[in-house]
Amino acid sequence: MTSTFRRQPARFGQALAASMLLATGAHAQTSIYRCTDGNGHVAYQSVPCAGSGNGKQLDTGAAGRAPAPRPVATSTPPPSADTAARANARGVEPTQGPQGTQTWGVDADVIVVSGYQFSAGITQVHVNHPARPVLLVLTGYNKTEWKVLPAPGTRIKAIVAAAASDGPPLVQPLPQVPVAYDDLPYATETGNVKFRQLIGKLHTRYGVNKVTGFRGGYQLPAVVPVSGPFAPDPNLSLDGLRPEVPRVQFSFDLLSTDGRRLPWTNTGPKDGKRYMGVVRGGGPFSMQRGGPAAMREDGREAYALEGNGSTLMWFPQGFNGPSQKVTLPTNMPPLSWGSGMVWDARRNVLAIVSFGGEGHFYRYDTRARQWLGARSLQNRDLFSLAQDPASGRYFSVSDKAELIVFNENGELEEVQPLARLMPDLDSTYDRGNERMHGLSVAAGPGVVAILNIRDASVTHIWTYELGSRKGQLTYKMAE
């Protein structure tokens, strides 16, 4: 039996966690490395890249930020048969493979117009940008017919229009201007994961490394004027905001979806590997890739939450051995939507946070095999749980990007808002349509790392120093 889920829809019901064993120490850093794996994934980190020839050391300078990278040559798959058929149905010549599209964004200024819905069946885009040729990108969730009206002197090099939810888009043709119909996300703002996904696809398919101008909103008007000067925005570049060299570095382990320990630091993977798609955690649907779990350092004993986080399983011989269900006594609140777990094997205490009902902080004696109690979280929705081995204090992170601090008995000590201290946070989720459900936490003496995990991959790490209450973005995986 589980308690009734509170407030949010069921799609937000599951949350992330990872078991983290931590060691800390000062580590002077002078460089950020731009690393690329075999699948083309790019990350910025303070540890050298794995292997040879797949990374570049970047001079961070006095400001501690890496300079913008050179454009990376990419290949683009040819358009699908459906795309070609859709274009032909409108009398527009479809693009013919990567040779016709992959350099569109290299020698042009890219302007993006995007929205969720539209005020009229025809949306006019008035473009006034005579300085350089323009690659115009038009995307939306709902359907509209685009009419592009360039001002005198404005040269439209090409137009890319995205498919809509209720039917393919239509672009009224311009003489000598090629049009590509593509499958691209809409983006109502640049500080959003949707825009990161959009610019990543534009880079892969059209050679776009940055966007010059952006006009977006939930509902676009019937007439959208686009003209400079365009305000500087770091989100408009392919990589967005870059990480900083950390003031302090510490190490921790993450658990993989198959029960392995993955060595990390707050500046990236400790061994330089990418660990794409294998990290436990990352949101309400993360149970399908492994829910909250904890394991002894030698891997010979483990615990994990299964189902919707309501079933605690004990693995006395590790994850590859048999398991037993651990039941709660009837005088304790039922466990549901368990969202974080950490095991203090030295003190023999397993701690769990949940947000089923009002949410609770549970403690379990792993030696005596008995529950120590449960404390109400008073309707706080927490994701992940970590512990500072030295002090015994626990740390969690809420869906509002708050750091929640508990003493070693699970009693609430402090709530610290962190959103303003976490640069690039908005780019990790679709603000307005989802919560920050990908956050996780690792802890060491005097410092914590807040991680964002999406699709079982670590996308960001922020380092927060408890004493000075300063935060930095210290690792980032680019699209």
d(CA 298, CA 300): 6
Tokens 């006019």 found at: 124
d(CA 161, CA 181): 5
Buried b (16+ CB within 10 A) or exposed e, 450-460: bbbbbebbbbb
Specify the DSSP element, H or E, that contains 99.
helix 98-101
* 38 DSSP assignment: T
DSSP 183-227: -----S-SSSHHHHHHHHHHHHHH---B-SEEEEEEEE-SEEEEE
Its sign, for the CA torsion 164, 168, 174, 178, is positive
The ranges of the chain annotated as CATH 2.40.128.630 are: 10-68+241-478
Give me the CATH topology for the region 10-68+241-478: Lipocalin (2.40.128)
pTM, two decimals, is 0.78
How does pLDDT run across 97-113, given as a tens digit for each residue? Answer: 345 688 899 999 999 99
| Contact assessment for residue 178 and residue 95, using Cβ atoms and an 8 Å cutoff | yes
Half-sphere exposure of 370 (CA within 13 A, CB side): 3
Can you give the pLDDT of all 479 residues of the chain as single tens digits? 333 333 333 333 333 333 333 333 444 445 777 777 776 677 878 777 776 456 666 654 433 443 333 333 333 333 333 333 334 333 334 343 345 688 899 999 999 999 999 999 999 999 999 999 999 999 999 989 999 999 999 999 999 999 777 777 899 999 999 999 999 999 999 999 999 999 999 999 999 999 999 999 999 999 999 998 888 888 999 989 999 999 999 999 999 988 899 999 999 999 888 889 899 986 555 555 578 999 998 899 999 998 888 999 999 999 999 999 999 999 999 998 999 999 998 899 999 999 878 999 999 999 999 999 999 999 999 989 999 988 999 999 998 999 999 999 999 999 999 999 999 999 998 887 877 888 999 999 899 999 999 889 999 999 999 999 999 999 998 76
| Contact assessment for residue 351 and residue 363, using Cβ atoms and an 8 Å cutoff | yes
